[in-house]
Structure formats: C-alpha cells, structure tokens
Amino acid sequence: MNEATKPVNPEKEAYHREAESRMHTFSYAKPTDMKLVKELVNFVRTPNVRVQVQVVTEGGENNLHYHTNSDGVWMVLRGKAKFYGVGDALLGELGLHEGIVIPGGARYWFEKVGDEDLEVLHITAVENATKKTDRINIDKHKDWMTEGFLQQYEESKA
C-alpha cells in the first residue's frame, strides 16, 4: 500500500502529529562573555532527555557527586578532561571526541586538563520522568557552586 491508500487510525495519527510538532534543530557556539568558571549551554530538555555543553575554564572542576534517576554521557568537543571516581581513582583521560558513560548512582568528578578551555557535551537520559532527578554531593561543593541544586548532600543516617 502506498501512503495515500493506507487506512488512517485517527488516534495514532494524532499521537504522531503531536510528537512531530516537538521536533526541532539546534546548534552550538561557545559563549563569548563567560562570567563564571563553568557555563552551561542548554539545547534540549524533554521529560526524558537533556542535552547541554559545559564550558569549563580554570578552577571550574567539580566535586565528587552522583545523580539520581538519570544516566549521563559525556564527550569532549574541545580540550581535555580527566574523570575520577571514589578515592580519586582515574576513570578516564579524555581527548577530542572521546567520551564516558556515567550510570545513575555512580560517584564521579571531573576537571579540565591543560591550558585550553574544556567544552564537553553532556547528554542526560532520565530513567523515570515522573520521579525527581537530583545531584547529590559526596565531597564539599566548590565555592563557585552557588545554586541550590549544586549544594545538596545525602541526609545523615545518624
């Protein structure tokens, strides 16, 4: 059957049209007016996927932490990065177009390496769109981490 003669299910067609109405393109350019040691350029935010580039300058490394309800994929677009786990165990030293997968609950931190700014693509896949996704600190947050979501810690079990 060709497209013109296929029977149309109205509910299914509405489902497809609604989803197709949310498709869009995006592009990336490094911010030219960086005011912080780390800037986030957000492209996509749906209930299940988030895509951003993090631009990290000197002093923009983060601390040991983990994320709930989401997996992360990181890929270096410019510069170099080192990713570490518990006890500063090296998870990977990444160069241009190299990446790492960080499953939800895995503890990690990363830093830029060398003099060049780090530009790293970050894709987050949310496991359950109806549950909250948190960033939970293990080590003390850095001074530049002034936003509340960057200052969350596990509750003490004491």
E-strand spans in the chain? 38-45, 49-56, 65-67, 70-78, 80-84, 90-94, 99-102, 109-113, 118-126, 135-137
Question: pLDDT tens, 43-65?
Answer: 999 999 999 999 999 876 788 99
Question: pLDDT tens, 28-47?
Answer: 999 998 888 888 999 999 99
Sequence spans of domains, the chain: 36-146
For the chain, give the number of residues.
158
Q: Per-residue pLDDT for 155 more than 50?
A: yes
pLDDT at residue 21 in the model: 95
Quick check: 101 and 72 in contact, CB under 8 A? yes
CA angle, corner 97, sides to 66 and 102, nearest 5?
15
123 forms beta bridges with 51, 73
pLDDT at residue 157 in the model: 44
Return the closest-CA partner of residue 54 out of 137, 110, 127, 130. Answer: 110
* Mean pLDDT, all residues of the chain: 87
We find that the CATH architecture of domain 36-146 is Sandwich (2.60)
